[in-house]
Amino acid sequence: MALKIISGCINCGNCRHVCPTDTIHYYDTPDLQHTIDPIGCIDCQLCVDACPVEVIEPDSSYVHDPAELAAAKELAAEVWKERGPTIQTVLKVMRQRNARWAREREDRRDAPDRYRTGKRQP
């Protein structure tokens, strides 16, 4: 089964940077959202791990042919040998950024007046 990006995407690009098959794309369309090409998606879940807003989920409307999926996973394994250490480093940095982003988001919820007005409170 492939994955899909649902509404709520903040277009941070984390998913696109970790995808070993380069099947996540960003199109300058009215909805301005990243999309996953279901044909190339091998359901590795790296994008799910990288997403700070948790908007990537299984796409039950697309089921891979088992032979095609096996071939795609073999190709991804070759890519992983080449790009795996880089992807792991990127994921580590993204997890740190995502945690910082979540803390900042909570801070904004705790102090809405300061952020709503754009003025610093004394």
Split at pLDDT 50, 70, 90, the class of 115 is: low
Question: Within a domain: residue 6?
Answer: yes
pLDDT digit string (tens) for 37-73?
Answer: 888 888 888 899 889 899 999 988 887 778 877 877 7
pLDDT at 120: 52
Contact between residue 61 and residue 41 where contact means Cβ atoms under 8 Å apart? no
Which amino acid is it at 2?
A: A
Q: Which two tokens stand for residue 41?
A: 């998606």
Q: What is the CATH number of the domain that holds 64?
A: 3.30.70.20
Residue 121 counted as domain residue:
no
**Residue 35: which domain range?**
2-112
**In this structure, is residue 122 part of a structural domain?**
no
Across 94-99, average pLDDT = 77
Residue 120 lies in a domain: no
Residue 2, classed as helix, strand or coil, is strand
Tokens of 99: 């945690």
pLDDT value for 117: 53
> CA-to-CA distance for 15 and 1, rounded, in angstroms?
17
